[in-house]
Amino acid sequence: MVTVKVAKRADSIEYAIRDVIDIAREAITNGKKIFPLNIGDPVAFDFPTPDHIKQALIEAIETNKNYYSPSEGIPELKQAIVEKEKKINNVNISKGNVIITSGVSEGIQMLLSSLIEEGDEILVPGPAYPPYISYSKFWNGKPITYETLEKEKWQPNPEDIRKKISEKTRAIVLINPNNPTGALTNKKIVKKILDIAGEHNLTVISDEIYDQIRYVEEFVSTSKLAKDVPVVGLNGFSKVYLMTGWRLGYVYFHDQNDELKNLKEAIEKETRIRICANTPVQMAGVAALNGPQNHVVDMVNKLKIRRDYSWKRLNEIDGISCTKPEGAFYVFPKIRDVGSKWKTDMDFVVELLLDTGVLLVHGSGFDPIYGSGHVRGIFLPPIETLEQVFNKVEQFMKKK
């Protein structure tokens, strides 16, 4: 028998959001009804993909737009993205500085693989969307999480960022609105981060996939505030345009001094290896950006009601406290007795799942330092479902 040796970089990959599913499958086998609050997929609930986007995909397929497209993306979509960023975020970019990817996650993979040499460091918010940490490690880099302050609505701590910069630091990541906390980084803090990056000649990576899903008005795109600091923007269609399973995203380069030219060319080479993003889906992406936008307002209004309900219920449960999210569709509550009643937040997640069927994600999966002792959940389900969920969580906590 041949034993295949697996590369260490692949064997060590973690993705907390889906890693917990194996435990849920076991619970289902044992007859437990599961309430999946682990994956941020609005389309899995009552947020269907808008009809004009679906029709654009059908038309693209029926008119034989089924061929390989340019590796960096079709020109029509790149132009639509340029216009969207200008209209929505007041960011000026050129079509040549946009690259289309198969979802934001592929953009993260390509970006970090082009940026990181062995031993290089990337500053990532703690807590953060897991691929920033996992891909940094995968490419033999070192993700360094910087502090975000729970008591200040999870705002990044600029002084902690400054303190953690070293000669090995390659970039600072900002996720705004943040996944998993739902935090909206205010304009003052974004400016401070840009100033620090400028002082140290660093690139800022700004993930803004939830840019239009917010419940206050103070969001500002990092590139809008950047002057001579180079910014790599990441965005996509999964959340705002309800195209999660379609896998469509983009990377753009806001680079007034042409400092990101080599990085852009390296990523373009990576796009050639994977041939191209899905051509008919790119056609649908054009329709998403250029077509009716009514669903965005309707979605945010509906989510705001669910956010308010979830936040209120969580803070009414003894042993749980939760900061009010200002964007995205996540709650990131603190579980007070992790460390005593439950050894880890993962132990809490497993016990809650097996007892109630409520499936959350352990906070340490988003960062073992600043995410520890918390859990992430979604408030995408209808109020009736959320009521069942929080009733079960409340009963569970009362028994402990």
User: pLDDT tens digits, residue range 300-348?
Assistant: 999 999 999 999 999 999 999 999 999 999 999 999 999 999 999 999 9
CATH numbers and ranges of domains, the chain: 8-48+295-399 (3.90.1150.10), 51-290 (3.40.640.10)
Residue-wise pLDDT tens digits, 37-60 = 999 999 999 999 999 999 999 999
Q: Average pLDDT of the chain?
A: 95
**If you average pLDDT over residues 133-160, what whole number do you get?**
96
Does 282 score more than 90 pLDDT? yes
Lowest mean pLDDT among 26-40, 109-123, 386-400: 26-40
279 torsion bin: left (phi>0), alpha (psi -120 to 50), beta (else) = alpha
Per the listing, tokens 């020109």 go with 75
Q: DSSP strand E in the chain: where? A: 35-36, 98-101, 121-126, 142-149, 155-156, 169-175, 203-207, 231-236, 249-254, 320-321, 330-331, 334-335, 358-359, 361-362, 375-378
pLDDT value for 182: 98
203 close to 234: Cβ distance less than 8 angstroms: no
Residue-wise pLDDT tens digits, 154-186 = 999 999 999 999 999 999 999 999 999 999 999
Does 65 score more than 90 pLDDT? yes
User: Rounded distance, CA 344 to CA 97, Å?
Assistant: 44
**SS3 for 152?**
helix
Structure confidence at residue 18 as a pLDDT band (50, 70, 90): low
112 close to 267: Cβ distance less than 8 angstroms: no
259 close to 97: Cβ distance less than 8 angstroms: no
Q: H or E segment at 371?
A: none
